[in-house]
């Protein structure tokens, strides 16, 4: 089995590329979805996050309000505090998932999509690293568009979201550094077709590497 890390900056298009890989036959885990599950009410990580950041991050139903938590974390430069709580549990889930796949499908390509592979210092856990890129201004615009409720485009809200995007980008390792450390780079600044073609070329190479290991 080949262990692959898939990452990229805010709104670069990691999930789009992960979906393409999944359609081609890769086993894909999305770290963000795992983190959401671990932060569900009743989970140990949920209690640790609430204890650390306070009940003001909760909705009326007791669930964690992710926008409120993000505003507190990125606005107050407290990203490392959240990561120290969540990352160990996410990494453990990834290891268990990979071990299960390796035992049943030794020639599989197992891809973990995660935003903070480099920031969390876990790049060495992967045999190959893929970085998805796009120009910063395009990523900011994507973040704004996906964060706006349907029909809402007030200048004030757009400005708030642009500022939020820039805070998040500032908390991440610069894209140029990630590209330097990557085994493969996929440029997601163009059409979906262009991105798909790049992903297909990368995946065919990953498949060959996975087969050669077994």
Listed by start position, the domains of the chain span 2-213
End-to-end C-alpha distance for the chain, whole angstroms: 7
Using alpha carbons, select from 174, 175, 98 the residue that is nearest to residue 134: 175
* Residue among 21, 29, 18 nearest 95 (CA): 29
Decide: helix, strand or coil at residue 166: helix
Contact between 19 and 127 under an 8 Å Cβ cutoff? The reply is no
- pTM equals 0.91
Q: Rounded CA gap, 94 and 183, in Å?
A: 21
pLDDT at 11 over 70: yes
Task: Give the count of alpha carbons within 13 A of 164, CB side only.
Answer: 22
Q: How much is the pLDDT for 137?
A: 96
Specify whether the CB–CB gap between 115 and 5 falls below 8 A: no
Tell me the average pLDDT across 173-178. Answer: 92
The percentage of residues in the chain with a pLDDT greater than 70, rounded to a whole number, is 100
Q: Check if the beta carbon of residue 36 is closer than 8 Å to that of residue 86.
A: no
The helix (H) or strand (E) run that includes residue 112 is strand 109-113
In angstroms, the Cα distances linking 33 to 47, 56, 153 are 18, 23, 28
Exposure string of 176-213, with b = 16+ CB inside 10 Å and e = fewer, is: eebeeebbbbbebeeeeeebbebbeebbeebbeebeee
- Out of 3-7, 123-127, 152-156, least confident range: 152-156
- Is the pLDDT at 46 greater than 80? The verdict is yes
Say if residue 75's pLDDT is above 80: no
CB 187 within 8 A of CB 198: yes
For 197, phi and psi rounded to 5 degrees?
A: -60, -45
Quick check: 13 pLDDT over 80? yes
Tell me the average pLDDT of the chain. 94
* Lowest mean pLDDT, pick from 2-16, 68-82, 96-110, 175-189: 68-82
Residue 214 confidence (pLDDT) above 70:
no
Q: Which CATH superfamily is domain 2-213 in?
A: P-loop containing nucleotide triphosphate hydrolases (3.40.50.300)
Per residue in 98-140, pLDDT (tens digit) is 999 999 999 999 999 999 899 888 999 999 999 999 999 999 9
Contact (CB, 8 A) for 4 and 127: yes
pLDDT-above-90 percentage for the chain: 85
Phi and psi torsions of 176, nearest 5°: -60, -35
């Amino acid at each position: 089995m080949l262990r692959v890390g898939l990452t990229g900056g805010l709104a670069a298009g990691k999930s789009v590329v992960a979906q393409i890989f999944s359609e081609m036959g890769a086993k894909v885990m999305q770290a963000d979805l795992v983190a959401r599950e671990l932060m569900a009410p009743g989970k140990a990580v949920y209690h640790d996050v609430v204890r650390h950041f306070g009940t003001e991050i909760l909705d009326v139903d007791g669930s964690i309000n992710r926008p409120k938590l993000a505003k507190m974390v990125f606005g107050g430069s407290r990203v490392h505090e959240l990561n120290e709580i969540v990352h160990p549990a996410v990494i453990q889930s990834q290891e268990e998932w990979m071990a299960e796949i390796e035992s049943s499908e030794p020639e599989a390509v197992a891809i973990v999509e995660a935003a903070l592979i480099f920031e969390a210092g876990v790049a060495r856990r992967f045999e190959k690293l893929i970085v998805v890129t796009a120009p910063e201004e395009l990523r900011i615009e994507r973040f704004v568009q996906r964060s706006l409720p349907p029909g809402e485009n007030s200048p004030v809200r757009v400005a708030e979201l642009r500022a939020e995007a820039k805070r998040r980008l500032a908390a991440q390792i610069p894209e140029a550094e990630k590209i330097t450390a990557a085994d493969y780079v996929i440029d997601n600044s163009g059409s979906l077709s262009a991105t798909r073609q790049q992903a297909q070329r990368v995946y065919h190479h990953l498949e060959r590497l996975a087969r050669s290991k077994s």
